Amino acid sequence: MAKEPVRVLVTGAAGQIGYALVPMIARGIMLGTDQPVILHMLDIPPAAEALNGVKMELVDAAFPLLKGVVATTDVVEACTGVSVAVMVGGFPRKEGMERKDVMSKNVSIYKSQAAALEKHAAANCKVLVVANPANTNALILKEFAPSIPEKNITCLTRLDHNRALGQISERLNVQVSDVKNVIIWGNHSSTQYPDVTHATVKTPAGDKPVRELVADDAWLNTEFITTVQQRGAAIIKARKFSSALSAASSACDHIRDWVLGTPEGTWVSMGVYSDGSYNVPAGLIYSFPVTSKNGEWSIVQGLSIDEFSRKKLDLTAQELSEEKELAYSCLT
């Protein structure tokens, strides 16, 4: 029997990421190729005409899974009945800025949209915040939507996770699909810690640790980390716009693995509400290694953290605590 359509909200849908993301959702890349969807696209009035153009293109593409499109500048209409909300709306940083430099513009958007989601979305709506500063926007959304379960509010660090897989695959000249279990700890910012301590590569002789195959700790502990940390800035420098197709694709990966489950023996990175695991302060949205089953993620427990990693986990937690304070000061 055909499944009932799922309503998926994309905010900022007339923007760059939105334009890459909505056709992926309509093709089943996010929720599965047997899952019909109704797209809810929100943008602000100056972008209304462009948003309508995106709607026209969605109709023209005749996606078999797409059962309806709501294109609106009304946040209540956009949020009504949605089971998945991908929050992309906001302002991207430009060359020379850190992601927290867009804080004052973006956190107030997340405060006001929290209320609309809380009142009008489906009770168990899963929320993914993409707009920067992603972790702190998600935290603000969580705090101003207290009736949404805290486990349902997440932010995107899967792009950083995928970037780390890509770097290892290039370095070792192996298929990216054979590399697994990198971890992005902390903030989606230049203090994030891309960690390969537990990462492996599939070889004909079984899974081998990335550290053994790369055999160059100096590269893994410096250049690899900074390349992943700075990749967003490198894309902005090259394109003059921030990453869009990789962000959209990673957003689909994030929701797909959350809803449909992570493959056996594999974890992914998600920004989630910290419960104090790995001595990360509770009450921050922090990126952890997670697995997911039956639509519920859990933090992978018991991984060893050496002294080098500990310092990096703490540094990015410190930045998130400072961002939290700054966000509140922007809201008052």
> Residues at the annotated binding site?
12-18, 43, 93, 99, 106, 130-132, 163
Residues making up the binding site for NAD(+): 12-18, 43, 106, 130-132
Please give the residue whose beta carbon sits closest to ligand NAD in the complex: 15
Cβ-contact 140, 175 below 8 angstroms: no
Pull the structure tokens for residue 4: 């009932």
3-state secondary structure 82-104: CCEEEECCCCCCCCCCCHHHHHH
3-state secondary structure the chain: CCCCCEEEEEECCCCHHHHHHHHHHHCCCCCCCCCCEEEEEECCHHHHHHHHHHHHHHHHHCCCCEEEEEEECCHHHHHCCCCEEEECCCCCCCCCCCHHHHHHHHHHHHHHHHHHHHHHCCCCCEEEECCCCHHHHHHHHHHCCCCCCHHHEEECCHHHHHHHHHHHHHHHCCCHHHEECCEEEECCCCCCEEECCCCEEEECCEEEEHHHHHCCHHHHHCHHHHHHHCHHHHHHHHHCCCCCHHHHHHHHHHHHHHHHCCCCCCCEEEEEECCCHHHCCCCCEEEEEEEEECCEEEECCCCCCCHHHHHHHHHHHHHHHHHHHHHHHHHC
Q: Which is nearer to ligand NAD, 35 or 187 (CB)?
A: 187
Query: Pick the catalytic residue: 40, 120, 161, 188?
Result: 188
CB of 293 to ligand LMR, least distance (A): 28
Q: Does 93 bind ligand LMR (CB under 6 A)?
A: yes
**Of 11, 152, 242, 291, which one interacts with ligand LMR (CB under 6 A)?**
242
Q: Does 232 bind ligand LMR (CB under 6 A)?
A: yes
Interacting span for ligand LMR (CB under 6 A) from 42-50, 231-239, 292-300, 311-319: 231-239
Is position 40 annotated as part of the catalytic site?
no
Q: Which is nearer to ligand NAD, 229 or 243 (CB)?
A: 243
**Of 6, 31, 38, 43, which one interacts with ligand NAD (CB under 6 A)?**
43
Q: Does 99 bind ligand LMR (CB under 6 A)?
A: yes
Q: Does 11 bind ligand NAD (CB under 6 A)?
A: yes
Q: Which is nearer to ligand NAD, 41 or 201 (CB)?
A: 41
Number of residues that bind ligand NAD (CB under 6 A): 29
Task: Choose among ligand LMR, ligand NAD, none what residue 235 binds, the Cβ cut-off being 5 to 8 Å by kind.
Answer: ligand LMR
Residues 110-139 contacting ligand LMR, CB under 6 A: 132
Q: Does 17 bind ligand NAD (CB under 6 A)?
A: yes
Residue 101's CB is within 10 A of a number of other CB atoms, namely 14
Per-position x/- string for 235-274, each x denoting binding to ligand NAD as judged by CB under 6 A, each - no binding:
-------xxx--x---------------------------
Q: Does 167 bind ligand NAD (CB under 6 A)?
A: no
* Contact positions vs ligand NAD (CB under 6 A): 11-12, 14-18, 42-44, 47, 88-93, 109, 130-132, 134, 156, 159, 188, 242-244, 247
Catalytically active residues, by annotation:
188
